[in-house]
Chain A
Amino acid sequence: MTSPAQPLRLSISSNPSHLPVVRAAVEKVCEILGFDCDTVGNVVLGVDEALANIIKHAYHGRQDQPIEIELAPLHDADGSIELLIRMRDHGLEVDPSSIKGRDLDDIRPGGLGVHIMKHCMDRLEYRPAEGGGTILTMAKRFPTVRKEIGR
């Protein structure tokens, strides 16, 4: 990675009514970067599922807790872009070894979020944040550059 663009930062509370706003912002960033329609849809879905997991599991449904989101496009010398997405919560720390999706052959409601996130993103990493909470980093790589933002 040679050229980090200016990241976009969003601060929201853990209210599910904020999810459409974040989805719209992520979609627009991906569109400006020139990502194809299918990839845009997957990034939006991956981010949305990650936020829903934070609301449900880190904050147990409380709607007034802080979540910070950062979208950082990294431009590579070969013209490709990796979009890094970081999410910080201040809730219960997550044991990374405990995070796994359920068996998809087990047809029942729930437990699909992690599977969806892994499908939609190239990389996914949880780590404890200083001062409590968790930082989730997700990355999606795109092969071509058509437009750039924040540079």
Chain B
Amino acid sequence: MSHNPAPAISQVRRFGDVAVVDVQGDIDLSRSVEFQQTLLRILDEKPSRMVINLEAVPYMDSSGVASLVKVLSRARRANTLLVLASLSPRVKNLLEITRLDSVFKISANEQDALA
């Protein structure tokens, strides 16, 4: 079985120089490369803040986390504030296991992430 999975990024909404990125579906080894590449392209536009809305991401593995770490590193160099919003319990658990919950700025929901 092999197929082309749906794009990890379903939508990018812009509010001035803030980008809100809607992510959909599981982020695992089959999708993390495309996930990372798309996020880095959005960062190239140098938003002042990038909110990654993970509400529709029920599952993420270490390759997805590695992508987020890469994006965070690039965002810091570009002076873009990166915020993760609306984490599912399993994604939250993964960040806690890897102790990255203290590295990322995490908001309970998109509204808080934009405040």
Decide yes or no: A115 and B98 within 8 Å by CB, A16-B30, A109-B66 being known contacts.
Answer: yes
Interface residues of B in 64-115 (CB under 8 A from A): 65-67, 69-70, 73, 89-90, 93-94, 97-100, 103
A21 near B93: Cβ-Cβ < 8 Å: no
Decide yes or no: A52 and B93 within 8 Å by CB, A20-B26, A104-B98, A109-B66 being known contacts.
Answer: no
A108 near B69: Cβ-Cβ < 8 Å: yes
Q: How far is the CA of A57 from the CA of B77 in the complex (A)?
A: 31
Q: How many residues of B contact A (CB 8 A)?
A: 27
Q: How many residues of A contact B (CB 8 A)?
A: 32
**A46: min CB distance to chain B, Å:** 10
Contact of A21 among B1, B29, B89 (CB under 8 A): B1
Q: A19 contacts the other chain (Cβ, under 8 Å)? A: yes
Q: B35 contacts the other chain (Cβ, under 8 Å)? A: no
B-side contacts of A108, CB under 8 Å: 69, 73
Decide yes or no: A112 and B5 within 8 Å by CB, A19-B30, A48-B28, A52-B28 being known contacts.
Answer: no
A-side contacts of B63, CB under 8 Å: 52
Q: A62 contacts the other chain (Cβ, under 8 Å)? A: no
Q: A144 contacts the other chain (Cβ, under 8 Å)? A: no
Q: Closest chain B residue to A20 by CB distance?
A: B26
Q: A45 contacts the other chain (Cβ, under 8 Å)? A: yes
Q: A18 contacts the other chain (Cβ, under 8 Å)? A: yes
B62 near A52: Cβ-Cβ < 8 Å: yes
Per-residue contact bits, chain A 102-123, to B (CB 8 Å; 1 contact, 0 not)? 0011011110110110011000
A-B contact pairs, 15 of them (CB 8 A): A15-B1, A16-B30, A17-B2, A38-B93, A41-B90, A55-B29, A104-B98, A107-B103, A108-B69, A109-B66, A109-B73, A110-B62, A110-B66, A112-B98, A116-B62
Q: Tell me the A residues contacting B by CB distance below 8 Å.
A: 15-21, 23, 37-38, 41-42, 44-45, 48-49, 52, 55-56, 63, 104-105, 107-110, 112-113, 115-116, 119-120
Q: Tell me the B residues contacting A by CB distance below 8 Å.
A: 1-3, 5, 26, 28-30, 59, 61-63, 65-67, 69-70, 73, 89-90, 93-94, 97-100, 103
